[in-house]
Homo-oligomer: A and B are copies of this chain.
Amino acid sequence: MLKVVILGTGNVAKHLFDAFSASTAVETVQVLGRNPDAVKYFEEEALVFGMHEVIEDPDVYIIAVNDDSISTVSESLIGRKGLIAHTSGSVSLEVLAQHGNHGIFYPLQTFSKERPIDFKSVPLCIEANTEKNKSVLRALAASVSDRVYDIDSRQRRSLHLAAVFANNFTNHLYHLAHELCEEHQVPFDILKPLITETAKKIELESPYEMQTGPARRGDKATMDKQLGLLNSPWQKELYSLLSKSIKRTYQKHL
């Protein structure tokens, strides 16, 4: 049984805690946070204390806090023997280098407090300073997820960047579509099945193959008409640049 201490009480901490709780191979012996309201969630199953009072020496410490706070929390663990890992996509492994045993335990998923998630399908990206530590993190990961990947810091940075396109920017396009619906008095709900299906289709075929629409067809008449329907200059700018990018993608491959 792997003993784990979680440092942090946000969305990632909560979903990790739930996943560990559901596994027979892991025991979360403690969750630490400074926010008294946030720690309540964990109280029934784990001991909770202020951020600097780790009472037990676990196998693994999981630092699941904001990127900016990782080094501060890491400082508070100096002298601990357990393996210390953070969960960030963009912070380097070296930030934990002062610890003899350190690594990365990065779940590549978007978590929200309200939505339950099937943790078995969450990709976990693992890295560590030694092979031995890597196998500890791999075992921990495999106990809660079916998708465990060995990913070094360089690859993790690239994944995190690709995730900005696939999640942050995509969500912003949903927002722009929402805004257009409100502007033109049509319910955004009509678009929701399209949004879900667009995402599901990538399971079947590459997005390159799945591309449709006026820019893909080189249908200038429709593009000009649609540009005319857009009211704000930055909507027009985004429409033009994204259409241009689609056009060049397919010209390039001709």
* Contact string against B for A residues 127-161, beta-carbon threshold 8 Å, 1 for contact and 0 otherwise: 00000000000000000000101010011011111
Q: Is A16 an interface residue (CB 8 A)?
A: no
B110 engages A207 (CB within 8 Å): no
In this complex, how many residues of chain A approach chain B with their Cβ under 8 Å: the count is 91
Question: Looking at the complex, which of A34-42, A47-55, A197-205 is the stretch in contact with chain B?
Answer: A197-205
Which of B114, B155, B183, B201 contacts A186, CB < 8 Å? Answer: B155
Q: A164 to B213, Cβ gap below 8 A?
A: yes
Contact A190/B149 with A110-B197, A158-B180, A197-B109 known, Cβ cut-off 8 Å? yes
A165 touches B190 (CB 8 A): no
Using a CB–CB cutoff of 8 Å, the interface residues on chain A facing chain B are 67, 90, 108-110, 112, 114-115, 117, 121-123, 125, 147, 149, 151, 154-155, 157-178, 180-181, 183-208, 210-216, 222, 225-226, 229-230, 234, 237-239, 241-242, 244-246, 248-249
